[in-house]
Chain A
Amino acid sequence: MLAKTRSYALNGIDGYEVNIEVDLNAGLPAYDTVGLADTSVKESKERVRSAIKNSLYTYPVRKITINLAPADTKKEGSHFDLAIALGILIANEEIDSKDYKDYIILGELSLDGSINHIKGVMPLIISAIQNGHKKFIIPSKNAKEASFISGIEVYAFGKLYEVADFLSGKKEYEPLKTSEFVNIQNSNKYNVDFSEVKGQFVAKRALEIAVAGGHNVLMIGPPGAGKTMMAKCVPTIMPDMTFEEAIEVTKIHSVAGILDSNVGIVVNRPFRTPHHTATIPALMGGGPNAKPGEISLAHNGVLFLDEMPEYQRRTLETLRQPLEDGVAVVSRAKHTLEYPARFMLVASMNPCPCGNLGSKTQECKCTPSEIHRYISKLSGPLLDRIDLQIEVDAVSYEEFRSTIPNEDSKTIKERVEKARAVQRERYKGTSTKTNDEMTNSQVKEYCKLDEDGERLLKNAFARLNLTMRATSRVLKVARTIADLEGSENIKTNHIGEAIQYRSLDRKYWD
């Protein structure tokens, strides 16, 4: 007797259909899995057998052959267990089901017959929908995640026998109710807020500009200046994620297995801080069982590289292409994976190896060549992608006891959202979303300067030793400052301010 169940497998964050064919034959009892299954799939043999027995069904004493079609792609993961077990039960005529072929079956089995949580339910279901599938059977532990997708029938089960009863029509089960994204979106909480950051007005202002225009930021300052804390606050002033954005992020997090199954969807913008010992696969994605890397996990959020020059230079250089294209490409001999990676880069570094360069209270002990070596870890092309470079300094409380009150994230966020709205309107119908993504022709069109502004920029380059590649950077940032102010044209003071955020172009770093 032959049974054919359907399941799905992942390739990157996209899925493809896998047909699981179970055939029971006369012959010596055996169990063979064919179709390029890796170890985790082959091991399902023992889980499936115990689960079937412990669910009080008869395990067939025959030659069992299982084929995973298409047979020429490598399949990994434990989520085929349920589809295999059901296939065996149907082939053995333990279950009598007519419509089992309508369902995409996903789930890992436990020895006692219960169904375990699996990775990547959201991306699997979304890919299946795109291929015209409507009905799903998933583990109940993944129910939350799947409930955000509307227009489909999803059944969630906790036990193998429940699925069997459902498929054979012995018992009725209700499909999952769709959860409303808006409800949980309003309850989102970050546990940091900009009002907790004392002083640091320059840095805060620069971060506000950066978020408003989608620019990348580099903070330079001594240890203990509050760089990390401010970086953590960046997501709190970013506009709320739209449902589409949240789904994109959830797909990636689901594949990586870091999704909170109690919430089921990523509501807060991700904030990722890979350690500086991170390897290239850890950052870019890949590894033996391909997984999204840190930059993909930071998709639609913030990637924070603390102590940037401490990273291996090779690792940093790999960031260049994703910063440009917004995707991380993992190439293998047999296939290529693509993970989305459109993130805001927030980096921090010390001004010199000892951290005291430029400090008024402590003396820097570094030699010029040490400083040069330290700074030159960051290559020109990489710095080219970082629009704002700001100096953050250790603020002593007495010295800079400022009367200006600290704004909270909500107030800043409102301004950011206004500036973003201006940009959306401006770039309607193009692929550009923020000022940072402006193409050269768009810079020409939208960053026109009056005579005074032109003169200021020209003199600034001569006088302040700014490098030429800083031009378009300064213009883009000036555009964002103008947007924040609600000004249609870029004025001289916008250019003036933008120039102040180009610290590393200054001569004193040489």
Chain B
Amino acid sequence: MMSKDYTNDEKALIILSTLQSYNARKKLFESVKKPCELYSDFSKADEIICKCEKHNIGIITILDEDYPQKLKNIYDPPFVLYYKGNKSLMTRKNILAVVGTRRVSSYGKNILENFVPKFVEAGFVIVSGLARGVDSIGHRLCLDNRGETIAVVANGLDICYPPENVDLETKIVQRGLVISEYPVGEKSLQYHFPERNRIISALSDGVFIPEAGEKSGSLITADYAIEQGRELFVVPGNIFSSQSVGCNKKIKELQATIVLNPQDVIEAMGLYTNLSSKRNLQLNIEQQTIMQILEDGCKHFYDLLEKTGMSIGQLPAVLTELEVLGLIRKIQGNFYEIVPSL
């Protein structure tokens, strides 16, 4: 990491960033002409800078030129951003936030698997929060499709939360960007998450929610998006599914654009993509039979056994072949379903 000399103004902002309350920070910030008047002793800032350098963490303040304009324009911009990775991603055009429930259902997964690769293809940078569920799947799918992605986290960058995403975070640092407004050592406290969400929506040009429960944090992001004038895209869900209540509510309240396929989002954002045609595969009779049966919805192994009349030795082999072709997949409990595609 390059060693950079920080001005007293910047150091003052760094100290300011350690204050817990945003309002207190804002008040202090506005009470003086220049931030350096706030403090006389900058040793605390030096300490943080030193720690950041040790962890390879970069610092951008609101005074910097490469501080993203989009963030400056919101009501409560973060004064300091800590980052790891390629900071130029923040100032890109066409950033799309992909956020949603932590307890993602297979419906949500299907949506992500169909949409995110298309978004990447269209040239979007995907921003999300590295949380469990939709966030991590979004990041992963983006990386798997060689896309670029930004993770905005709610804790100091020396910590990884949730812990199981350590490998994902490392990958994002290598090929994308991880940012946070919290200094090194800060744990992810409960109230950090809504604060973090304002940055996600502010960085993006549009917010896409595939699935959100009634009290999902992604709805906070959605509200910020509306407040900050970003496009909000939601996918309608099953009215009986608790994981879709949030999305459906946004639709009912006429606050969001209904999205039925990736093109809806891509075109609304003024981008263009050519629809890649469906694969045309030659299937043998057994495979065709199974595909036909599965068209009615997911089926249990025994249903397939009964309906196809195949032997217990034959059927698994045909199912594996279809799985390998990517046409069907096994889901928990010995059920099989067609991989949905748009």
CB distance from B28 to the nearest CB of A (A): 38
Residues of A within 8 A of B331 (CB): 358, 508
What is the size category of the interface that chain B forms with chain A?
20 to 34
Asked whether B164 is an interface residue with its Cβ less than 8 Å from the other chain, the reply is yes
| A:175-214 near B, CB below 8 Å | 199, 201-202, 205
Q: Provide the B312-342 mask, 1 if CB < 8 A to any CB of A, else 0.
A: 1110111111011010001111110000000
Which of B34-42, B69-77, B299-307 touches A?
B299-307
- 12 inter-chain pairs at a CB distance below 8 angstroms, sorted by A residue, are A201-B312, A202-B312, A351-B333, A391-B332, A391-B334, A393-B334, A400-B302, A402-B302, A464-B323, A496-B321, A497-B313, A499-B320
Please state if A463 and B312 are interface contacts (CB–CB under 8 Å): no
Bound-complex Cα distance A201 to B315 (A): 12
A195 to chain B, nearest CB (A): 16
Known: A359-B333, A391-B334, A393-B333. A201 touches B305 (CB 8 A): yes
Taking a contact as CB atoms under 8 Å apart, the answer to whether B332 and A357 are in contact is yes
Besides A351-B333, A357-B332, A358-B333, 18 more A-B contacts (Cβ < 8 Å) are A201-B302, A202-B301, A202-B302, A202-B334, A205-B312, A359-B333, A368-B102, A368-B103, A369-B132, A369-B164, A391-B334, A403-B306, A456-B321, A456-B324, A464-B323, A481-B313, A496-B321, A508-B332
Q: CA A367 – CA B306 in complex, angstroms?
A: 35
- Docked Cα-Cα span, A205 to B324, in Å, equals 22
| A374-403 interface bits toward B, Cβ cutoff 8 Å, 1 = contact, 0 = none | 000000000000000001010100011011
A98 at the interface (CB under 8 A from B): no
Task: Select one of B164, B301, B320 contacting A496, CB under 8 A.
Answer: B320
Number of A-B contacts (CB under 8 A): 90
Is chain A's binding surface mostly helix, strand, loop or mixed? helix
A454 within 8 A of B: no
Known contacts A357-B332, A402-B306; is-contact A464 B317 (Cβ 8 Å): no
CB pair B324 A497 closer than 8 Å: no
A497 partner residues in chain B, CB cutoff 8 A: 313, 316-317, 320
Select from chain A the residue with minimum beta-carbon distance to B162: A369
User: CA of A202 to CA of B334 in the docked complex: distance in angstroms?
Assistant: 9
Contacting residues, chain B, for A456 (C-beta < 8 A): 320-321, 324
Question: Bound complex: CA of A395 vs CA of B306, how far in Å?
Answer: 14
A439 within 8 Å of B (CB atoms): no
B binding-site residues for A, Cβ under 8 Å = 102-103, 132-133, 162, 164, 300-303, 305-306, 312-314, 316-321, 323-324, 326, 330-335
- Contact between A351 and B323, CB atoms less than 8 A apart: no
How far is it, in angstroms, between the C-alpha of A199 and the C-alpha of B162 when the chains are bound?
41
Q: Any chain B CB within 8 A of the CB of A492?
A: yes
CB A352 to nearest CB in B, in angstroms, measures 9
Q: Closest CB of chain B to A348's CB: distance in Å?
A: 15
| A61 interfacial contact with B, CB 8 Å | no
**Known contacts A202-B312, A493-B313; is-contact A460 B132 (Cβ 8 Å):** no
With an 8 A cutoff between CB atoms, is A54 at the interface?
A: no
A321-372 CB contacts (< 8 Å) to partner B: 351, 357-360, 367-369, 372
A residues near B330, Cβ cutoff 8 Å? 500, 506
Cα separation A205 to B332 with both chains bound (whole Å): 19
Q: Which residues of A contact B334 (CB under 8 A)?
A: 202, 391, 393
* A226–B202 CA distance with the chains assembled, in angstroms: 54
Closest partner residue, chain A, to B314 (CB atom)? A493
Could you tell me the distance between the alpha carbons of A185 and B320 in the complex, rounded to whole angstroms?
42
Residue contact A391 to B333, C-beta cutoff 8 Å: yes
Q: Is A485 an interface residue (CB 8 A)?
A: yes
Residue A56 is within 8 A (CB to CB) of chain B in the complex: no
Name the residue on B nearest A221 (C-beta): B333
User: Is there contact, CB below 8 Å, between B319 and A496?
Assistant: yes
Q: A202: shortest Cβ distance to chain B, in Å?
A: 6
A26, CB-defined interface residue at 8 Å: no
Closest CB pairs A-B (n = 4): A358-B332, A496-B317, A493-B317, A496-B320
A276 to chain B, nearest CB (A): 24
A360 touches B335 (CB 8 A): yes
Q: Tell me the complex Cα distance, A493–B322, Å.
A: 12
CA distance A485 to B312 in the complex (A): 12
Tell yes or no: A494 within 8 A of B by CB: yes
Q: Is A1 an interface residue (CB 8 A)?
A: no
Bound complex: CA A360 to CA B132 (Å): 23
Chain B residue numbers with a CB within 8 Å of A500 are 316, 319-320, 330
B132 touching A368 by the CB < 8 A rule? yes
- Interface bits A443-473 vs B (CB < 8 Å: 1, else 0): 0000000000000100110011000000000
Nearest-CB residue, chain B, relative to A372: B164
Q: How far is the CA of A494 from the CA of B314 in the complex (A)?
A: 9
Q: Which A residue's beta carbon lies closest to that of B320?
A: A496
A404 within 8 A of partner (CB): yes
